[in-house]
Amino acid sequence: MSSINPHSWNLTLDEMKTLQRQLAERVALTDQFNTLRFVAGTDVGFEDKGAITRGAIAILTFPELELVEYQIARVPTNIPYIPGFLSFRECPALLQAFSQLQHKPDLLLCDGQGIAHPRRFGIACHLGLLTDIPSIGVAKSRLIGKYNEVGNNKGDWQPLTHRQETLGAVVRTRTNTKPVFISPGHKVSWQTAINLTLECTPRYRLPETTRWADGIASNKPAFMKKLADYNQKIFNLA
């Protein structure tokens, strides 16, 4: 399932930088997928005062955006949050959750950056390469890059650029709300990343995939009730 060999997560800061630069050369920025049936969201929460990373993956049908599966994995937190190195903190738990899936997603929407990253290798790139699944980074805040003011209507966007390179776009996913920062992770072009993210974001600021993954990872009460209903439905069908 992986397009690159597994690597150690126990690395120094310099080793992480070197690995990011090396793996960034393997990122594909063209559309390399066919029919989308299942789209997945990823996010993490923390337990035991941050000692345990709780990785969550939610898989939804596309384009209906109905939940079909979720998985949770808990692993010891290996490093603190360091800007630019989020994937080294979150990927171990997310990859464990991936190993438990019954459905293989056709697309990942990650809560974080794709190539809109100092070394062009955010968490969406890292997960995309490790799982060999097309991926998109949908971040709530900017890490790098410049952009012009975005219109207030849903679907308005402006290119996100850094050092004269277009990395993605700043997109208004809901009228009169803060925009999100979209960049390709792997096997998706930045133009397609915009379109697919908007298709996965029918009502709120964040894609439904991200909202589900965030709710599950953080044990949010509203989503825990939805999961209870989902689990009961699955039990009744069994």
Beta bridge partners of 84: none
Asked whether residue 4 is assigned to any structural domain, the reply reads no
Binned at pLDDT 50, 70 and 90, residue 219 comes out as confident
Q: Is residue 5 part of a domain?
A: no
d(CA 70, CA 58): 4
In a domain, 8, yes or no: no
What is the per-residue pLDDT for 233? 61
Q: Are strands 38-47 and 107-110 parallel, antiparallel or unpaired?
A: parallel
Burial of 216 (C-beta count, 10 Å sphere; 0-12/13-18/19+): buried
Residue 120 DSSP symbol: S
Closest CA to 114 of 75, 66, 167: 167
| 237 vs 6: CA distance, rounded Å | 37
Quickly state the pLDDT bin for 91 (edges 50, 70, 90).
very high
Mean pLDDT of the chain: 91
Tell me the pTM.
Answer: 0.90
Total number of domains in the chain: 1
Tell me the C-alpha to C-alpha distance, in Å, between residue 205 and each of 53, 119, 152, 154, 236: 25, 27, 12, 9, 33
Q: Is residue 25 part of a domain?
A: yes
Query: What is the residue range of 53's domain?
Result: 13-237
Q: Is the pLDDT of residue 6 over 70?
A: no
Buried b (16+ CB within 10 A) or exposed e, 176-207: eeebbbbbbbbbbebebbbebbbebbeeebbb
Instruction: Give me the CATH number covering residue 115.
Output: 3.30.2170.10
Residue in 6, 203, 37, 206 with CA at minimum distance from that of residue 134: 37
Cα–Cα distance measured from residue 46 to residue 61, given in angstroms and rounded to the nearest whole number: 27
Residue 84 CA to residue 152 CA, distance in Å, equals 29
Select the more confidently predicted residue: 234 or 217.
217
From residue 197, give the alpha-carbon distance in Å to each of 8, 14, 34, 164, 168: 31, 33, 16, 24, 12
> Is residue 34 one of the residues assigned to a domain?
yes
Is residue 108 a part of any domain in this protein? yes
> Is residue 17 assigned to a domain?
yes
What is residue 8's predicted lDDT score, i.e. its pLDDT?
A: 81
Report whether pLDDT(111) > 50: yes
110 contacts 117 by C-beta, under 8 angstroms: no
